[in-house]
Structure 1
Amino acid sequence: MTQGKDDVVRLRAFLQQLSRDPIVLTIALSRAWTIKQLDVNNAFLHGDLAKDVYMKKPRGYDIGDGNLVCKLTKALYGLKQAPKAWHDSTTMVLVYVDDIIITGSSNKVIGEIIQQLNIKFALKDMVKFSAFRGSAFNNPKFYQCVMGSLQYFTVTKPELAYCVSKISQFMLQLLDEHWTHVKHILRYVCGTSTFGLLLQPTNITTMEAYSDSDWGGDPDDQKSTGSFCVFLGKNLVSWCSKKQGAVARSSTETEYQATADLVAKLIWIKNLMIELQTELPTPPSIYCDNLSAVLLAVNPIYHSKSKQFEIDIHFVCDFVTKRIIDVSHVLGTV
């Protein structure tokens, strides 16, 4: 988390890519498809270059003239596109650097893909599918390194989303108390190393989502934290816990902002499933425990108390009116 802006953008792109994995895996499990995980033995997927490509010298490599550049003989990350499906079968390929997950309706096609890749690259079949994990190292920037690694654990441990998001807010104003909380998280991670997110065959024709927020939950600046979770059938496929950027003047405002964030996520998931040829027969359902926010989504009444989040109101109401999303009330207590 101490790198430049480009590194942060790449990290966010990677986490967004990982958010697709539970959706693809849920579809594969529900259709009883074979799932294969591969690892390329060399660190990068090298592709042949048709043109001369030059790059700046890596940081820390100071040999020779400082104005010299490096000429690439192989393309970094050359394998950019997933192979097309043969005949009438469906095949999905998830790629991140040298880790590959392949699933599809035909074991024969999966085998052909692996065979073709093995001709070009040295592959290692992981046999049993496993999740990506992070690691921490003790150094002068210990706190930042640990928090960067904990971000990866939230990919398969949704219960860590809130506490990791909360403790990450003190990266520039670190106190001993913050590090004590991080150690509590690390102890929990070590004690639950055998726990994981369960993905099972399920009915993928329904999608339900829940949103919530704590109004003025931060005692320092009175900002709220919004959160949501999305279920595809019985499988939890997406979740988020994020501090809102502005102070909400009412509980309705903070709940509605969380609902608007959830609507944006559901639209993204719905479009992704259309690309995967798995269109939902019914609109996704959102459940919120704030009755005023639900009533605004169904029948918007603009008045002085809703002017400050009027854009969110229009955004949600547009999808609700078109029956693309359903918003309903649910009790906040069991």
Structure 2
Amino acid sequence: MQVLPCLLPQPLLQCQNPPSFAQASQIPHWREAMLSEFTALEANNTWVVTALPAGKQPIGCKWVYKVKLKADGTLERYKARLVAKGYTQQEGLDYSETFSPVAKFTTVRTLLAAASVHGWPLGNGLLKFSSTILQHGFIQSKSDYSLFTRSHGSSFLALLVYVDDILIASNDMESVTKLKKSLDAEFKLKDLGNLKYFLGLEVARSSKGISLCQRKYALEILSDSGMLGSKPVQTPMEQNLKLSETDGTLLDDPSVYRRLVGRLLYLTVTRPDLSYSVQKLSQYMAKPTTSHLTAAHRVLRYIKGSPGQGLFFSSSSNLHLKSFSDSDWAGCPDTRRSITGYCVFLGDSLISWKSKKQHTVSRSSAEAEYRAMAAAVCELMWLIPLLKDFQITHSQEALLFCDSQAAIHIAANPVFHERTKHIELDCHLVREKIQEGLVRTLHVISQNQLADLMTKPLGSHQFHSLVTKMGVNNIYAPS
């Protein structure tokens, strides 16, 4: 019998000046973190002693050191993780598939919006193994496999899992307490108390609702990029700017651009005002140029002016779905493909949005708008059963606002052959959902089209007007 050996590991660079393995074992706080991790792995029977198959080589492992900070930047704890060197394995030879439960951020926002209206207390913690949740009577959501809910009489619990971080919402604190004790008895559970900080998202709650932002993360990006002292600008991208893959000269070190855009992508979790700009910049990751980097630096200058910008989920909102869809026809100068943009609200709370280049070239602006409508309808159809998981029955038609009369006519008229014969059949789900009474389309004038924010760079006045209407605000701004 052989045990998978723990080779002397090399640390992964995830903290400033990380210690070597030899150094860490001599420093009290790192030694304590490593001992805590190893004790937890042993207590939870993480490994099984088995014979090594003939011709197979055991994979090594390494320590990952990370300094965990609170939202205010002060030290929370030193964290050490022992991880296998999975990158040495070959798919199909050493493994078939891997999976870690990762919640969709739309689900996180929807849960917070529902909790704000219903007044559910929110908590979070760290759970080493989430597979045990099903043993406690929870049902796994079909909409998001990382969501688990349990209903018993008037008691309701919802658990949202992101690897080993869990977000708990419930109308029954006694049941929550019992669940925590039960999980802690079986597995190591660290109770982090009331929800204030989750996956880098800062949560603040008052009688008026819940605010969500990433101020600390935004300031870290500015600091790491050397842009803390930059002059702020009013918009993340110049109005009418048309970036192309041929603009500027290729960067000598593209990794700087890729790292920056990658970090900005995570900032869009709470910043819909950045979505169009960042998705545009992400299209040039393969061969970034000086022009693309200049545009990325402008985004940083915009963030400098409002690092605390984020979402607000009102406690007095209704729970009716409404959405806005828009497109920028042939907006990409390189491919002539259009840009789809949509945003979805639960009452007054923005819970989902998208800015994305369409997969095919549209032959008309009406076709591009219709494709954007189809994308919005797909999101609505996913959200309705998700709301049911949160015990929210959505009996009304979901509203879909569009500023294209032609696209609305295509959705309503099944005999519009000449305009629609070349559109893929899956786009006509808009028409099906209208006929089923699940969605109702309404026309909105272009000045009130909120999804404009997702399809093109706007002027300062229109940009800030739409951002305000979306319920995006800066909770750190002086009142």
Do these two structures clear the TM 0.5 threshold for a shared fold by scoring above it? Answer: yes
Q: Please, which runs of 5 or more residues in structure 1 have no aligned partner?
A: 49-79
Residue aligning to 1:116: 182
Residue aligning to 1:28: 115
Once the two structures are TM-superposed, the CA of residue 98 in structure 1 deviates from its matched residue by: 2.4
CA distance in 2, matches of 1:270, 1:189: 33
CA distance in 1, matches of 2:406, 2:321: 23
CA 1:186/1:13 → structure 2, altered by over 3 Å: closer, same or farther?
Answer: farther
Residue aligning to 1:253: 367
Q: How does 1:250-289 map to 2 (within 5 A)?
A: 250-289=364-403
Residue aligning to 1:45: 129
Structure 2 length as normaliser, TM-score? 0.56
Three-state SS of the structure 2 residue aligned to 1:216 is coil
CA distance in 1, matches of 2:196, 2:300: 24
Q: How does 1:53-132 map to 2 (within 5 A)?
A: 82=148, 84-119=150-185, 120-132=187-199
CA distance in 1, matches of 2:444, 2:420: 22
Do structure 1's residue 178 and structure 2's residue 284 form an aligned pair? no
CA distance in 2, matches of 1:131, 1:234: 23
CA distance in 2, matches of 1:47, 1:324: 35
Do structure 1's residue 165 and structure 2's residue 279 form an aligned pair? yes
Residue aligning to 1:53: none
Deviations 1:242-279 (A, max 9, x none): 11111111110000000000000000000111232211
CA 1:12/1:264 → structure 2, altered by over 3 Å: closer, same or farther?
Answer: farther
Q: CA RMSD in A?
A: 2.9
Q: How many residues align?
A: 293
Kept after mapping to 2: 8 A contact 1:39/1:126:
no
Name the amino acid aligned to 1:129.
K
CA 1:276/1:185 → structure 2, altered by over 3 Å: closer, same or farther?
Answer: same
Q: Is the strand fraction higher in 1 or 2? A: 2
**Deviating more after overlay: 282-291 vs 181-190:** 181-190
User: Which of 349, 371, 377 does residue 235 from structure 1 map onto?
Assistant: 349
Q: Which has the higher contact order (CA 8 A, sep 6+)?
A: 1
Kept after mapping to 2: 8 A contact 1:39/1:123:
yes
CA 1:10/1:197 → structure 2, altered by over 3 Å: closer, same or farther?
Answer: farther
Kept after mapping to 2: 8 A contact 1:296/1:313:
no
Percent identity, please: 29
Kept after mapping to 2: 8 A contact 1:37/1:128:
yes
Deviations 1:54-75 (A, max 9, x none): xxxxxxxxxxxxxxxxxxxxxx
Once the two structures are TM-superposed, the CA of residue 237 in structure 1 deviates from its matched residue by: 0.7
Once the two structures are TM-superposed, the CA of residue 310 in structure 1 deviates from its matched residue by: 4.3
Name the amino acid aligned to 1:279.
T
Residue aligning to 1:57: none
Q: How does 1:131-170 map to 2 (within 5 A)?
A: 131-133=198-200, 141-170=255-284
Once the two structures are TM-superposed, the CA of residue 333 in structure 1 deviates from its matched residue by: 2.4
Name the amino acid aligned to 1:226.
T
User: Which of 313, 328, 333 does residue 214 from structure 1 map onto?
Assistant: 328
Deviations 1:285-316 (A, max 9, x none): 10100001011111233333322214145311
Name the amino acid aligned to 2:379.
K
Three-state SS of the structure 2 residue aligned to 1:125 is strand
CA 1:269/1:291 → structure 2, altered by over 3 Å: closer, same or farther?
Answer: same
Q: How does 1:319-334 map to 2 (within 5 A)?
A: 319-333=433-447
CA 1:10/1:221 → structure 2, altered by over 3 Å: closer, same or farther?
Answer: farther
Q: Please, which runs of 5 or more residues in structure 2 have no aligned partner?
A: 1-86, 92-96, 133-145, 201-216, 226-252, 449-479
Name the amino acid aligned to 1:323.
G
Once the two structures are TM-superposed, the CA of residue 207 in structure 1 deviates from its matched residue by: 1.2
Structure 1 length as normaliser, TM-score? 0.79
Deviations 1:140-190 (A, max 9, x none): 723222222222111111111111110000011210111122222233334
CA 1:167/1:140 → structure 2, altered by over 3 Å: closer, same or farther?
Answer: closer
